[in-house]
């Protein structure tokens, strides 16, 4: 099958590479939370800008798919626009900003506020996949620690937080345990989004291009955020509500509106906020 | 009024247009042609080919033009292109012993069979700006005497000479039927085999390898190097088609090879002898080839029973950080929005400050 | 046969070579529950190599190290999987390094250093972990107020006591000690030895302690092995060996201490 951009294959990658990636993804799905190494390809975007997620998406996308791409929760951030147009160009797929219409959602740093459904796939862009990395820099050692479930050191870090700050001071990329086995980094999503990963009906795929790892959380898989019995995991809360749609249950971005430090808070998920605003307008008109 | 700080399609298109204008510069100045870059910026071209891992001077010149002379960006362009290319065959190993040599120096022997050939080198030039170059000059007629083709004389490698006495560790070819690691298709895994290491170093950033190689000379993983031999010239690339009983040449490429010879006092398992570090680049890339050879030797420390103690000897450190695409992309990704993470941190820091302030107040009240 | 009828550790003809040289050769002994075995010798005598082989950190070239596991009886530790060995290391066994910096996490607090082994075996209650850390600081005579301080800020003696607490918090059955008082001032050494003797006795620990310092074994060890050039040249009850040395080398060791 030829793509719409002359000179390149459908969805950019050659079919052999896609087969390799699909095999890796299948393995990742079979071992939830386990980081499967793969032969990363240079993509026409820089590493750190979503090359892992893009390779995952490229290997699973088909002509009937509908793609949504978000960065920081929004569809109109520059990098999301750039990735979306890449797939529109190389795979000729339909794109959408509406979460419920998408078959594949590629994301950087957020999980959509609207609940995902069975059959949808959420593809995360991952900068650093290894949850043990800051505690142990050697790959040879971290792989062994995963193999042997030697995870005590993760709690040492949480212990230190509580001892120093009276609370667990990790606010994003908060480590989780998948299917009661592997410790996993959820990518730098806010911990606000962590509970959405647990028992989610959608398939969650994680791609780290520069670090050459793919991992997965299959549908309806247990995902537990690490904590202590007497210091349970909790998510961010805001006193404010969204200035545009009034939501009190969404992750809010802080917008500085003047040089005197005036601020307002709005939903980071532009699709969710837009729907709520439309509903409000409709209500007001009635 | 809330003004969106988020960009969009229009902003990207406008940025691309500006970039194209800046690349072209003043339209009064004639536009660069690819042959000009290929011929007159040939060392930039060879660096881009080496680290871009694709021997194609014309495409490298195009990448340099498109990247406005930013070589790391040009390397990126070439790599992203090459990764989509189909593979027709795997070449046989090139034989640098049969090189059509244009430069060849050894720092270990005063005279060597085949002689020292200085060739086109910056060495021994005085680094004085040559103002004559400021204006284009008519091409001088070729000097008949110098362009006389030299009688080809055999140039055995210095390594082979040392090897005859058993003074230099032999370079055993590995099991040729065993599949070689191919870093363009497989992820790096540790401990990495030497072939994977050399592949990574060959594609590695010249500046990074230069500094690492330099650090070994200053004592951070010292390995007593001598430049056994540096040779530069053309070699034939051959493939062995299944249906033919002999290999056929498919073209010539220019390469620079460095054989570093390092003294070695011996270990529990190895006798005292000279050991090697190896460097190879496309085109004329002496600085890179030498740096690569120093780092290759440093990374062999474990195999030779030396205690690794310095960055250049740390395989994971060197191989994970030598690729300019990975490094440049990840450093620059900090430009991407991190609103969500930053907001998460803001919320937490504010809460912690409130808590601390409340604690201080309570303390003061007591 | 029940577990106490057997030694905790049985070492059979343990041999380790470096090239042609024997670092230790044909070493055999049993270690019983609650027993402290001292290994003395000069540097290069092979005692540290022996300790490394015993504590599963250096595979021997010959012989066996059998450990009386809680559920599977006597097992050759080098025939267990790496997973089993690493689990033993953080539960049943302790390892006290000569330099406490090798055995501590210097970048995390004293409390976390002690709590780590508990968390590694599944403790998930912050308050209880902290209580255990507080108790153990007390037992090794470190002011409880230092619980959130980094070990870097501790004196050498305190670091060594912290390393001991970090090892003992999971109630190991065997502790391997490599020159536990090495590098400390004499007065600090005496206090540490007293503390060790009290802890070993009250916890009923089995210990293999390697040292060049006869005062350490005199105070701690029930039995003694004297090593020279990789071989055990004399062994027996500590007082017997030290008071009535039979081998010429032991006599030399003992007399050199007396003269010193
Ligand atoms: Zn909203």
**B16 interfaces chain A, CB cutoff of 8 Å:** no
CATH no. for residue A166? 3.40.50.11310
Q: How many helices (H) and strands (E) does chain B have?
A: 12, 4
- Given a cut of 70, whether residue B3 has pLDDT beyond it is no
Q: How far is C129 from chain A (nearest CA, A)?
A: 9
Q: What is the pLDDT of residue C107?
A: 86
Instruction: Look at residue A134 and tell me if it is in a domain.
Output: yes
Which of A73, A161, A171 to probe the B interface (max B CBs under 10 A)?
Answer: A171
Please give the pLDDT value at position C260: 44
| Domain boundary, last residue among A205, A225, A245 | A225
Q: Where are the alpha helices (DSSP H) in chain B?
A: 9-24, 34-40, 42-52, 57-66, 71-82, 158-164, 194-203, 206-217, 286-299, 315-321, 324-332, 339-365
Asked if A64 and A195 sit in the same domain, the reply is yes
Are residues A36 and A119 both part of a single domain?
yes
Size of interface A-C (CB pairs under 8 A): 56
Distances (CA, A) of A249 to A92, A113, A242, B68: 35, 9, 9, 48
For residue A10, is it within any domain?
no
Give every CB contact of residue B113 below 8 A, 6+ residues apart in sequence.
Answer: B154, B155, B156, B161
Phi, psi values for residue A122, rounded to 5°: -105, 120
Of the residues A9, A42, A245, the best mutation for testing chain B's interface (the one with the most B CB atoms within 10 Å of its CB) is: A42
Q: What is the reported pLDDT for B265?
A: 72
Chains touching A, CB cut-off 8 Å, 3+ pairs: B, C
Find the range with the poorest average confidence among B147-161, B299-313, C101-115. B147-161
Do residues A152 and A279 share a domain?
no
**How close, in Å, is residue B293 to chain C by CA atoms?**
30
Nearest-Å Rg of the Cα atoms of chain B is: 26
Mutate to test the interface with B, among A47, A83, A242, A270 (most CBs of B within 10 A): A47
Residues in chain A with CB shorter than 8 Å from the CB of C91 are none
Residues A98 and A212 in one domain: yes
- Average confidence (pLDDT) over A126-131: 93
| Strand C62-69 relative to strand A252-256, pairing | unpaired
> Ligand 1 mean position to A243 CA, how many Å?
7
- What is residue B2's predicted lDDT score, i.e. its pLDDT? 39
- What is the predicted ipTM? 0.86
Query: Domain limits at A112?
Result: 15-225
Q: Return residues with CB closer than 5 A to ligand 1 (ion).
A: A 242, 244-245, 247, 267, 273
HEC secondary structure over A79-121: HHHHHHHHHHHHHCCEECCCHHHCCEEEEECCCCCCCCCCCCE
Pair (A242, A221) in one structural domain = no
Query: What pLDDT is attached to residue A32?
Result: 98
CA of A269 to the centre of ligand 1 (A): 7
Question: Can you say whether the dihedral through the CA atoms of C38, C44, C48, C49 is positive or negative?
Answer: negative
Residue of A nearest to C83 (CA): A148
In a mutagenesis test of the C interface, which of B266, B267, B268 is the best target, namely the one with the most C β-carbons within 10 Å?
Answer: B268
Predicted confidence at residue B285, as pLDDT, reads 95
Kindly state whether residues A208 and A246 are assigned to the same domain: no
A232 found inside a domain: no
Residue B142 and residue B149 in contact, taking contact as beta carbons nearer than 8 Å: no
Q: What angle do CA A236, A241, A245 make, to 5 degrees?
A: 125
Query: How many angstroms away from the CA of A170 is the closest CA of chain C?
Result: 16
Q: Which of B93, B49, B37, B77 is nearest to B281 (CA)?
A: B49
Question: For A85-108, how does the pLDDT look when each residue is reduced to its tens digit (9 = 90+)?
Answer: 899 989 999 999 999 999 999 999
Judgement on whether residues A149 and A255 belong to the same structural domain of the protein: no
pLDDT tens, residue by residue, B274-286:
889 999 999 999 9
Selecting from C86, C108, C115 the residue whose C-beta is nearest the C-beta of A148 gives C86
Residue whose pair of structure tokens reads 């040289």 in the numeric block: C21
Band (B338; pLDDT cuts 50, 70, 90): confident
pLDDT value at A206 more than 50: yes
Q: What is the mean pLDDT of residues A266-282?
A: 94
- In the predicted model, what is the mean pLDDT of residues A116-125? 97
Q: How many CA atoms lie within 13 A of B106 on its CB side?
A: 21
**Chain A residues with CB within 8 Å of chain C CB:** 144, 147-148, 150-153, 155-156, 159-160, 162-164, 227-231
Torsions phi, psi for A106 (to 5 deg): -95, 135
Q: Is the Cβ of B186 closer than 8 Å to some Cβ of chain A?
A: yes
Please return the burial class of B285, using the count of CB atoms within 10 Å of its CB with bins 0-12, 13-18 and 19+: buried
Q: Which residues of C touch B268 (CB under 8 A)?
A: 18-19
Residue B1: per-residue pLDDT = 33
Give yes or no: residues A167 and A89 share one domain. Answer: yes
Same domain, A101 and A166: yes
Catalytic residues of A: 33, 242, 245, 267, 273
Using an 8 Å Cβ cutoff, are B225 and B260 in contact? yes
Cβ(A245)–Cβ(A273) under 8 Å?
yes
- The C-alpha atoms of residue B205 and residue C13 are separated, in whole angstroms, by 53
Q: Tell how far the Cα of A268 is from the centroid of ligand 1, in angstroms.
A: 8
- Closest Cα of chain C to A213: distance in Å? 24
CA of A246 to the centre of ligand 1 (A): 6
Q: Is the peptide bond before B191 cis (omega within 30 degrees of 0)?
A: yes
Q: Name the pLDDT band for B127 (thresholds 50, 70, 90).
A: confident
Residue A29 pLDDT greater than 80, yes or no = yes
Binned at pLDDT 50, 70 and 90, residue B146 comes out as low
User: Are A36 and A173 in the same domain?
Assistant: yes
Q: Which two tokens stand for residue A154?
A: 């993760």
Structural tokens at position A152: 């005590």
Interface of B with A in 189-218 (CB under 8 A): 189-191
Q: Would A7 be classed as within a structural domain? A: no
What is the Å distance from ligand 1's center to B175 Cα? 63
Q: Is B305 on the interface with C (CB under 8 A)?
A: no
Asked if A243 and A220 sit in the same domain, the reply is no
Name the strand (E) or helix (H) holding C192: helix C186-203
Strand boundaries in B97-155, DSSP class E: 100-105
pLDDT of residue A6: 55
Contacts of A155 in chain C (CB under 8 A): 119, 124
- Partner-chain contact A171 B191, CB within 8 Å: no
- What is the interface size between B and C, counted as CB pairs within 8 Å? 3
Does residue A133 have a pLDDT over 90? no
With respect to residue A9, please indicate whether it lies within any of the assigned structural domains. no
Q: What token pair was written down for B353?
A: 């400050």
Per the rule left: phi > 0, alpha: psi between -120 and 50, beta: everything else, B266 is left
- CB nearest to A138's CB, from B9, B316, B337: B316
Q: Do A46 and B6 touch (CB under 8 A)?
A: no
pLDDT score recorded for residue B99? 92
Q: Report how far residue B341's alpha carbon sits from residue C233's, in angstroms, rounded to the nearest whole number.
A: 65
A197/A266 same-domain check: no
Residue segments in chain C with a per-residue pLDDT below the cut of 70: 1-4, 257-260
Å from CA of B3 to ligand 1 middle: 15
Residue C104 has phi, psi (to 5 degrees) of -110, 160
Total count of domains within chain A: 2
Pairing of strands A176-178, A121-125: unpaired
Asked if residue A230 is part of any domain, the answer here is no
| For residue B174, pLDDT beyond 50 | yes
């Amino acid at each position: 099958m030829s793509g719409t951009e002359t000179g390149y294959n459908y969805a950019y990658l050659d079919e052999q590479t896609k087969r390799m990636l699909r095999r890796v993804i299948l393995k990742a799905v079979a071992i939830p939370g386990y980081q499967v190494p793969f032969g990363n390809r240079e993509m026409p975007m820089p590493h750190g800008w979503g090359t892992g997620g893009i390779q995952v998406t490229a290997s699973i996308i088909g002509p009937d798919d509908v793609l949504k791409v978000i960065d920081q929760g929004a569809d109109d951030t520059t990098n999301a626009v750039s990735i979306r147009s890449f797939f529109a160009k190389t795979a000729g797929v339909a794109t959408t900003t509406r979460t419920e219409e998408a078959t594949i959602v590629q994301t950087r740093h957020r999980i959509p506020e609207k609940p995902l459904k069975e059959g949808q796939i959420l593809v995360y862009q991952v900068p650093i996949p290894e949850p043990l990395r800051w505690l142990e820099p050697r790959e040879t050692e971290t792989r062994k620690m995963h193999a042997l479930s030697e995870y005590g050191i993760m709690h040492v870090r949480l212990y230190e937080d509580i001892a120093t700050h009276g609370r667990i001071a990790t606010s994003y990329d908060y480590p989780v345990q998948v299917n009661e086995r592997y410790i996993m980094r959820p990518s730098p999503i806010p911990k606000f989004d962590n509970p959405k990963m647990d028992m989610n009906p959608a398939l969650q795929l994680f791609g780290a291009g520069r670090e050459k790892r793919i991992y997965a959380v299959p549908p309806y898989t247990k995902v537990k955020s690490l904590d202590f019995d007497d210091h349970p995991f909790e998510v961010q809360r805001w006193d404010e509500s969204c200035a545009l749609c009034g939501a009190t249950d969404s992750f809010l971005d802080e917008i500085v509106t003047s040089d005197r430090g005036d601020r307002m808070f709005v939903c980071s998920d532009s699709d969710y906020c837009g729907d709520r605003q439309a509903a409000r307008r409709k209500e007001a008109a009635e | 009024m809330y003004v969106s700080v988020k960009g969009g399609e229009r902003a990207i298109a406008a940025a691309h247009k500006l970039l194209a204008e800046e690349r072209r510069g003043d339209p009064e100045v004639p536009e660069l042609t690819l042959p000009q870059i290929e011929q007159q910026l040939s060392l930039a071209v060879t660096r881009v080919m080496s680290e871009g891992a694709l021997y194609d001077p014309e495409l490298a010149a195009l990448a340099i033009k498109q990247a406005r002379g930013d070589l790391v960006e040009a390397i990126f362009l070439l790599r992203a292109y090459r990764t989509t290319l189909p593979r027709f065959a795997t070449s046989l190993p090139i034989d640098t012993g049969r090189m059509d040599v244009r430069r060849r120096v050894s720092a270990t022997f005063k005279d060597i069979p085949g002689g020292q050939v200085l060739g086109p080198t910056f060495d021994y030039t005085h680094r004085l700006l040559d103002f004559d170059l400021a204006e284009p000059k008519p091409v001088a007629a070729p000097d008949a005497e110098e362009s006389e083709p030299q009688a080809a004389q055999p140039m055995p490698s210095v390594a082979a000479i040392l090897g005859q006495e058993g003074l230099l560790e032999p370079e055993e070819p590995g099991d040729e039927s065993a599949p070689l690691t191919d870093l363009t298709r497989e992820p790096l895994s540790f401990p990495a085999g030497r072939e994977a290491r050399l592949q990574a170093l060959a594609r590695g950033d010249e500046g990074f390898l230069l500094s690492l190689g330099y650090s070994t000379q200053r004592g951070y993983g010292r390995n007593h190097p001598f430049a056994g031999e540096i040779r530069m010239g053309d070699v034939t690339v051959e493939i062995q088609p299944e249906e033919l009983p002999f290999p056929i040449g498919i073209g010539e490429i220019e390469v620079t090879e460095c054989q570093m010879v390092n003294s070695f006092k011996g270990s529990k398992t190895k006798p005292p002898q000279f050991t090697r570090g190896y460097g190879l680049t496309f085109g004329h890339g002496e600085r890179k080839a030498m740096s690569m050879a120093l780092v290759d030797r440093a990374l062999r420390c474990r195999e030779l029973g030396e205690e690794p103690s310095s960055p250049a000897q740390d395989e994971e450190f060197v191989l994970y950080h030598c690729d300019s695409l990975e490094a440049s992309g990840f450093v620059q990704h900090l430009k991407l929005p991190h609103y969500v993470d930053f907001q998460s941190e803001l919320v937490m820091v504010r809460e912690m400050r409130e808590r601390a302030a409340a604690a201080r107040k309570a303390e003061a009240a007591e | 046969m029940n577990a106490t009828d057997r030694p905790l550790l049985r070492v059979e003809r343990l041999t380790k070579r470096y090239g042609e040289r024997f670092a230790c050769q044909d070493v055999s002994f049993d270690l019983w529950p609650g027993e402290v075995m001292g290994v003395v010798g000069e540097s290069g005598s092979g005692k540290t190599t022996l300790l490394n082989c015993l504590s599963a950190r250096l595979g021997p070239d010959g012989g066996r190290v059998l450990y009386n596991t809680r559920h599977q009886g006597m097992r050759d530790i080098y025939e267990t999987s790496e997973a089993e060995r690493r689990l033993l290391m953080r539960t049943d066994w302790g390892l006290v390094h000569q330099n406490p910096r090798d055995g501590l996490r210097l970048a995390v607090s004293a409390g976390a250093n002690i709590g780590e082994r508990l968390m590694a075996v599944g403790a998930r209650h912050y308050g209880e972990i902290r209580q255990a850390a507080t108790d153990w600081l007390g037992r090794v005579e470190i002011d409880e107020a230092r619980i959130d301080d980094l070990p870097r800020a501790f004196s050498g003696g305190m670091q060594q006591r912290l390393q001991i607490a970090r090892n003992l918090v999971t109630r190991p059955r065997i502790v391997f000690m490599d020159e536990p008082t090495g590098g400390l001032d004499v007065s600090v050494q005496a206090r540490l030895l007293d503390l060790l003797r009290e802890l070993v006795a009250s916890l009923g620990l089995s210990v293999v302690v390697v040292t060049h310092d006869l005062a350490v074994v005199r105070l701690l060890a029930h039995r003694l092995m004297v090593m020279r050039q990789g071989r055990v040249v004399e062994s027996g009850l500590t007082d017997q060996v030290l008071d009535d040395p039979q081998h010429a080398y032991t006599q030399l060791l003992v007399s050199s201490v007396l003269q010193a």
